[in-house]
Amino acid sequence: MNLDLSPEHELIRSTVRDFAESRIGPVAEELDRESRFPYEIVAELADLDLLGLPIPEEHGGAGGDTVSYAIAVEELTRVDASVGVTVAAHTSLGTMPILAFGTEDQHAEWLPQLARGERLAAFGLTEPEAGSDAGAARTTATLDGDSWLINGSKMFITNAGTDISACVTITAVTGEVGGQSEISNIIVPNGTPGYEVSPPLKKMGWRASDTRGLTFENCRVPARNLLGERGRGLAQFLEVLDGGRISIAAMGLGAAQGAYDLAFGYARERQAFGRPISGFQSIQFALADLATEIEAARGLTYRAAWLKDEGREFALAAAQAKLYTGELSNRAVNTALQIHGGYGFMDEYPISRLYRDQKVLEIGEGTNEIQRLVIARQLGLP
């Protein structure tokens, strides 16, 4: 058994870490304060091939593996979760479904621009009254001649409303089979008449990422925009989420590592009772626990990514990694803020932003409760 990362993986880590610390770190607080999407940084990420890292080279991507992708997302989120989720949502949710289920024509139309990072992609599942219960979706798509007529709405969608957004793939009810809703996936290009995006939603965290509500009113797209087999939308979506959970696990890992790094540095500098607070056993124990748990989380996350790369079953590992890193990152940001004391409550200290950014990692791509259901079913429990 060899647990060492390859030289290529180490290069990915050092490259992304250097970029995150030198380019993202200095402007992260400003972007968060102004709720401003980081167009310049996204363009530089594209230049580094980080917006198509796991996409095959023949489609314009970098041809990297899932482990490389997880490392990149971890390192970005370690500095700024808004940038991390922009990359994760574009890749795992926006681009990968088209790669996995698209036709050759759909590949040719969408993948090169998405893999090169020229445009961003989104996935629209959640609705105002359908989140964890995805089967309760009310958005409909009716086949009308050689086109789909779409009506409905989506909520909390990432990357759908930027100036460089290309398309959103949505789940929609396309009929009824055996008394059950038939759900399919359909690609909707930005700018299609009848497709409108709301103003950016005001959020507690991830303020520099793009999050919108979407509305479809008699929105007509060609029938060829059906992604994959009709009626297989939920099955496709669940497969997409399995992979997406690896990237969210990597975000949780990065958030925990970032919080630890801030707490470690602050504890060595902050003086109390005549010495650095890192000399007090209570602080040492807190940091020791975090360091241990972060290594465990890294093992879970990288193993899930490795299983995917090996073509082996990874759904259980991905759900476990996502659950564990989500809850660990909660403990990490809380502990790190406590070590900062009153200064941690001030927005001028980065831990304040990491604290706000963390919570959604326990909600998005399946809540903690849903993860436990997924894990229980994977274990064979009724």
Give the pLDDT confidence of 93-127 residue by residue, as tens digits: 999 999 999 999 999 999 999 999 999 999 999 99
- Domain 121-231, CATH homologous superfamily name and number: Butyryl-CoA Dehydrogenase, subunit A, domain 2 (2.40.110.10)
CA dihedral angle for residue 254, residue 257, residue 261, residue 262, rounded to 10 degrees: 60
pLDDT at 81: 98
Architecture of the CATH domain 7-120: Orthogonal Bundle (1.10)
Active site residue 34: no
pLDDT score for 135: 72
Tell me the C-alpha to C-alpha distance, in Å, between residue 193 and each of 137, 189, 365.
22, 10, 29
Q: Are 20 and 78 in contact (CB under 8 A)?
A: yes
Inter-residue contact 87 to 49 (CB < 8 Å): no
For residue 222, give the H/E element and its range: strand 211-222
Instruction: Please tell me the predicted confidence (pLDDT) of residue 132.
Output: 75
Q: How far apart are CA 89 and CA 276, in angstroms?
A: 41
Distances, alpha carbon 213 to alpha carbons 31, 154, 171, 192, in Å? 21, 6, 14, 16
How far lies 304's CA from each of 69, 88, 242, 309, in Å?
12, 16, 10, 9
Q: Where are the domains of the chain?
A: 7-120, 121-231, 235-378
Q: What is the pLDDT of residue 237?
A: 87
Choose, from 74, 75, 362, 365, the residue flagged as catalytic.
365
Q: What is the DSSP letter of 347?
A: T
- Tokens standing for residue 120: 């961003």
Tell me the torsion sign for CA atoms 88, 92, 93, 95. Answer: positive
First to last CA, the chain: 34
User: Which residues does the chain have with pLDDT short of 50?
Assistant: none
Cα(190)–Cα(3) distance, integer angstroms: 43
- The yes or no reply on domain 235-378 and CATH 3.40.50.300 is no
How far is residue 373's CA from residue 377's CA, in Å, rounded to a whole number? 6
| Amino acid identity at 157 | I
